[in-house]
Amino acid sequence: MSNIGSYEERLRNFDWSIAADELEFRNGDVINIGWYCSDRICQKGKAGKVALYYEGFAGAEKKYTFNDVRLASNTIGTFLRELGLAKEDRICLFMDRIPELYFSFLGALKIGSIVQPLFSAFGDESLFIRLENAQTRAIITQKKHLSKVRKIKDKLPCLEFIIIVDQHEAKELKEKEISFHLETYTLVDKMDIYPTKAESPSVLHYTSGTTGQPKGVKHVHYSLLSQYLTTKWVLDLQDNDIYWCTADPGWVTGTSYGIIGPWSLGITQCILDSGFSAHSWYRFIEKYKVSVWYSAPTAIRSLMKAGEEIVRNYDLSSLRHLASVGEPLNAEAVIWSEKYFGRPFHDTFWQTETGSIMITNFPGMKIKPGSMGKPFPGIKGTVLDAKTYEPIREPGKIGLIAFKPGWPAMMRTYWNNEEKYREKFVNGWYLSGDRASIDNEGYFWFIGRDDDVINTGGHLVSPFEVESALLEHPAVGESAVVAKPDEINMEVVKAFITLKPGFTPGTDLELEIMNFIRKKLSSVAMPQEIEFMDQLPKTRSGKIMRRLLHAKEWGEEIGDVSTLEND
Ligand code: 6R9
């Protein structure tokens, strides 16, 4: 029997107080995610239960109980507090998926600070933009990422502390840098956890939009109610499960469902901190006997491509429930997983902004391969007509995915950008920025995004951010960035550029520019192809027409070009 029981029954009787009751939380109470994910689990008698199996580079293994997590997060929290960091200070986590990342997340929350997790593959420019926007006071990082921080720290007067978690000799440290090596610290058994309330800010995740720089999505401690209940009902985690969420905590899935959800339920999870290969993933599942697996379509497509020979070499019979997020999950992937894992992947749709799962195929519900499923109980979801913003009643008609605000994990604002936040609401609906249709049984079918944001392998990339970075290269005159179709990643970044006088197009220059972006932004944002053009298509007012370049890449009708200047 799944945790959700009957979906229809849950829909009828739903109230978020179900989560509040299970968490023993009453309105007005103190609610601190750091405490809920460690101290409370220990108090419930699970102090000795394994919270984390970690496997790092070259197979290095570590194991931590919930009591270890409690002590480690207390120790880091106390250290941060002694530096003078406190309530609502932004603390950036810039680490690979090492245990310290998970402990720092809880530790920073325990002192009431706001955690700003950033993907450790980010280059210095991506990092700078986000730290400056959040006016971050401290960054916790590793030696291997230090050079990127050093490059930008002088431009960031707000950044007072650069904390390095590996063993580090004092003489190697530069201004603002502090070494904090957990293993050499005396563990702190008791600390005063900051009494955050429901609306106290917790996590600040950056996400990409079409225009302007990335936006900081502000979440609050109350989000726990959504994350707890969706983890329980959608991922169906049960006490003896071994759970693996493949997402990096630099992205929202890695925090909502890679830390908060499972640990607030006292579930054992495992983490693999190394790159992707079909062999290493299957081996990991076999070794740790993973029973619940939350992953992404790009990974599934890569596994499919690796072929059936490999799957058959491993014992994957521990798998009990599979779910996916981040991109459209194609029907073939669902069918394939059913064939080779004996279980279908259950699609889940949500966003950094929504903080928790919105639409999903529930355990036990009939899955229609290719459909995202139905809204979580308590979530009112629909598709709106793009002109009137009224809900579409006709089955199969495409509209804008929208939700009635009010669930606990909904973002509270975009950091310092209330205006952009307000633009997300129309007629009392929150607009996700995606398009879908709903069939006659209430299942949602994803169509695509309603903007130019590129979704490559589940990572959102803002064309604006890449275009801006391209312009910093000495050879680039103008740039336009769009998505290009890709078999595995669904979309990849493609750049069209014009060159400044004196530069000649060619493979060397193409590679040089690609590398320039990889270092500045990240490998995810790096264009996989650069097309040199004599001029870019523009409107009469001089705006570059991405739409046209996009249509060209996807072999689509170009549509109305009457405003083209140089057709
Ligand atoms: C959790 C996360 C959000 C955007 C979203 C949509 C796309 C997410 C999807 C999906 C099709 C799914 N997306 N889940 N598209 N099917 N099941 O991914 O957050 O990084 O903010 O991305 O990803 O376009 O709007 P985030």
pLDDT digits (tens, 9 = 90+) for 454-498: 999 999 999 999 999 999 999 999 999 999 999 999 999 999 999
**Cβ(435) to ligand 1 under 6 A?**
no
**Cβ(64) to ligand 1 under 6 A?**
no
The answer to the question of residue 105 being in a domain is: yes
Q: How buried is 140 (Cβ within 10 angstroms: 0-12 exposed, 13-18 middle, 19+ buried)?
A: buried
Ligand 1 center to 349 CA (angstroms):
6
> Whole-angstrom Cα distance, residue 318 to residue 325?
21
Q: What angle do CA 209, 213, 219 make, to 5 degrees?
A: 70
Span 139-180, pLDDT tens digits? 999 999 999 999 999 999 999 999 999 988 888 999 999 999
pLDDT at 329 over 60: yes
**Cβ(327) to ligand 1 under 6 A?**
yes
**CATH number of the domain to which 337 belongs:** 3.40.50.12780
**Ligand 1, atom nearest to 372 Cα:** 17
Q: What angle do CA 435, 441, 444 make, to 5 degrees?
A: 20
Ligand 1 center to 62 CA (angstroms):
32
pLDDT band at residue 113 using 50, 70 and 90 as cut-offs: very high
Ligand 1 center to 391 CA (angstroms):
21
Please check whether residues 360 and 462 belong to one and the same domain: no
Q: What pLDDT score does 513 carry?
A: 98
Q: What pLDDT score does 307 carry?
A: 93
Please check whether residues 461 and 373 belong to one and the same domain: no
Ligand 1 center to 449 CA (angstroms):
9
List, as one string, the DSSP characters of 65-110: EHHHHHHHHHHHHHHHHHTT--TT-EEEEE--S-HHHHHHHHHHHH
> Whole-angstrom Cα distance, residue 472 to residue 113?
34
The answer to the question of residue 407 being in a domain is: no
Please check whether residues 375 and 459 belong to one and the same domain: no
**Cβ(252) to ligand 1 under 6 A?**
yes
Closest C-alpha residue for ligand 1 atom 16: 328
**Ligand 1, atom nearest to 460 Cα:** 20
Span 227-281, pLDDT tens digits? 999 999 999 999 999 999 999 999 999 999 999 999 999 999 999 998 899 999 9
Closest C-alpha residue for ligand 1 atom 4: 351
Q: How many CB atoms lie within 10 A of CB 249?
A: 27
Q: What pLDDT score does 564 carry?
A: 54
For 199, the 3-state DSSP assignment is coil
**Cβ(350) to ligand 1 under 6 A?**
yes
**Cβ(403) to ligand 1 under 6 A?**
no
Range of 99's domain? Answer: 7-380
pLDDT at 355 over 60: yes
**Cβ(490) to ligand 1 under 6 A?**
no
**Cβ(351) to ligand 1 under 6 A?**
yes
pLDDT at 560 over 80: no
pLDDT band at residue 563 using 50, 70 and 90 as cut-offs: low
Please check whether residues 371 and 459 belong to one and the same domain: no
The answer to the question of residue 565 being in a domain is: no
Please check whether residues 331 and 468 belong to one and the same domain: no
Please check whether residues 462 and 374 belong to one and the same domain: no
Please check whether residues 208 and 314 belong to one and the same domain: yes
What is the number of domains present in the chain? 2
Ligand 1 center to 514 CA (angstroms):
26
For 430, the 3-state DSSP assignment is strand
Ligand 1 center to 350 CA (angstroms):
6
Please check whether residues 205 and 354 belong to one and the same domain: yes
For 438, the 3-state DSSP assignment is strand
Residue 558: which residues within 8 A CB-CB, separation 6 or more? 548, 551, 552
Span 487-539, pLDDT tens digits? 999 999 999 999 999 999 999 999 999 999 999 999 999 999 999 999 999 88
Q: What is the DSSP letter of 552?
A: H
Query: Across the chain, what does the average pLDDT equal?
Result: 95
Q: What pLDDT score does 90 carry?
A: 98
Q: What pLDDT score does 567 carry?
A: 41
**Cβ(372) to ligand 1 under 6 A?**
yes
**Cβ(3) to ligand 1 under 6 A?**
no
**Cβ(325) to ligand 1 under 6 A?**
yes
No. of helices (H) and no. of strands (E), the chain: 19, 27
Ligand 1 center to 135 CA (angstroms):
27
Closest C-alpha residue for ligand 1 atom 24: 449
Please check whether residues 376 and 519 belong to one and the same domain: no
Residue 280: which residues within 8 A CB-CB, separation 6 or more? 272, 274
The answer to the question of residue 117 being in a domain is: yes
**Ligand 1, atom nearest to 459 Cα:** 20
The answer to the question of residue 424 being in a domain is: no
**Cβ(411) to ligand 1 under 6 A?**
no
Closest C-alpha residue for ligand 1 atom 18: 326
pLDDT at 217 over 70: yes
**Cβ(207) to ligand 1 under 6 A?**
yes
**Cβ(446) to ligand 1 under 6 A?**
yes
Given the DSSP bridges, would you call strands 292-295 and 444-449 parallel, antiparallel or unpaired?
Answer: unpaired
State the amino acid at position 274 in one-letter form.
S
**Cβ(438) to ligand 1 under 6 A?**
no
> Whole-angstrom Cα distance, residue 277 to residue 262?
25
> Whole-angstrom Cα distance, residue 137 to residue 159?
4
Greatest mean pLDDT range, 163-172, 428-437, 550-559: 428-437
Ligand 1 center to 454 CA (angstroms):
11
**Ligand 1, atom nearest to 448 Cα:** 24
Which of the listed residues 319, 353, 380 is the one where a domain comes to its end?
Answer: 380
**CATH number of the domain to which 546 belongs:** 3.30.300.30
pLDDT at 92 over 80: yes
Ligand 1 center to 205 CA (angstroms):
14
Please check whether residues 337 and 486 belong to one and the same domain: no
Closest C-alpha residue for ligand 1 atom 2: 351
Closest C-alpha residue for ligand 1 atom 3: 351
The DSSP bridge partners found for residue 272 are 55
Ligand 1 center to 412 CA (angstroms):
19
Closest C-alpha residue for ligand 1 atom 19: 351
**Cβ(248) to ligand 1 under 6 A?**
no
Pocket test for ligand 1, best of 119, 230, 330, 349 (most atoms within 8 A of CB): 349
Q: What pLDDT score does 507 carry?
A: 96
Which of the listed residues 333, 358, 380 is the one where a domain comes to its end?
Answer: 380
pLDDT at 565 over 60: no
Span 58-79, pLDDT tens digits? 889 999 999 999 999 999 999 9
The answer to the question of residue 434 being in a domain is: no
pLDDT at 559 over 70: no
Which of the listed residues 380, 403, 419 is the one where a domain comes to its end?
Answer: 380
Please check whether residues 365 and 502 belong to one and the same domain: no
**Cβ(400) to ligand 1 under 6 A?**
no
The answer to the question of residue 349 being in a domain is: yes
Please check whether residues 357 and 484 belong to one and the same domain: no
Under 8 Å between Cβ of 3 and 233: yes
Packed helices 463-471 and 124-134: angle between N→C axes, nearest 10 degrees: 120
- Average pLDDT over every residue of 315-334: 96
The answer to the question of residue 435 being in a domain is: no
